[in-house]
Amino acid sequence: MPRGRKKFTNLKDKKVRLIGYKSGRTETGAPTQVYYDLCGPVWANYRSLSGSEIYFAKQAGSQQEVIFTVNWRRDIVAGMYVLYRDKAYKIGYVDDLEGYKKDLKLYCETSSAVNASVLKGILEALEE
C-alpha cells in the first residue's frame, strides 16, 4: 500500500435495505407473512466470512456466510432480512459489539430456498 493512504476496512459504502416481517393469517386461516421496509436505504459495510470463519461457524451449527456492519439501531433483530444487490440475506445473529451502541454486525445467511420465496414477497411489499 502506498505511503500516506489510509486503508478503509470498515467503510460503510454499500446501500442496503432492512426488511422486517409480521406473521398473520388470511381470512381463511392460512398463515401469511407481510414484509415491510424498516427504515429505507442505510449505509453498510459488506464482508464475506473467511474460510476459517465459515469452518468454525459450520462446526457450531451455524449457516452464516456474510457480515453486514450498520449503524446501531434498536429495532434490528435476528430473523429479519437484509436486501443487497437483489438478494435477500436472513439475519441469523446480531452482534452489538459489547453494547457500545455505535455499530451492529449482522451475521447473515443466504440460500436459494430463502431467496426464491422471500425475495418475491419483499419486492412486492416495496412496490406498494
For residue 29, the domain's CATH number is 2.40.10.270
**Residue from 64, 62, 70, 63 nearest 46 by CA:** 70
Contacts of residue 110, Cβ cutoff 8 Å, sequence gap at least 6: 65, 66, 87, 88, 89, 90
79 lies in some domain: yes
- Confidence (pLDDT) at 114: 61
**Number of domains comprising the chain:** 1
5 lies in some domain: no
Sequence letter at residue 55: Y
State mean pLDDT over 82-98. Answer: 87
- Confidence (pLDDT) at 111: 65
Cell of 75: 429495532
Q: Is residue 89 within 8 Å of residue 112, measured between CB atoms? A: no
119 lies in some domain: yes
State mean pLDDT over 8-34. Answer: 85
- For 42-87, the pLDDT digits (tens) are 999 999 888 887 777 777 777 778 999 999 999 999 989 998 988 8
122 lies in some domain: yes
Enclosing domain of residue 123: 14-127
3 lies in some domain: no
Higher-pLDDT residue of 3 and 75 is: 75
30 lies in some domain: yes
Residue 94 to residue 103: CA distance in whole angstroms: 10
Report the percentage of the chain scoring pLDDT > 70: 86
74 lies in some domain: yes
- Confidence (pLDDT) at 99: 81
Residue 124 to residue 35: CA distance in whole angstroms: 9
- Confidence (pLDDT) at 70: 94
Report the percentage of the chain scoring pLDDT > 90: 21
Higher-pLDDT residue of 48 and 7 is: 48
Residue 33 to residue 50: CA distance in whole angstroms: 33
7 lies in some domain: no
User: Taking 60 as the threshold, does the pLDDT of residue 113 lie above it?
Assistant: no
**Residue from 106, 38, 94 nearest 66 by CA:** 106
- Confidence (pLDDT) at 16: 93
Is the whole-model pTM more than 0.85?
no
User: What is the SS3 assignment for 2?
Assistant: coil
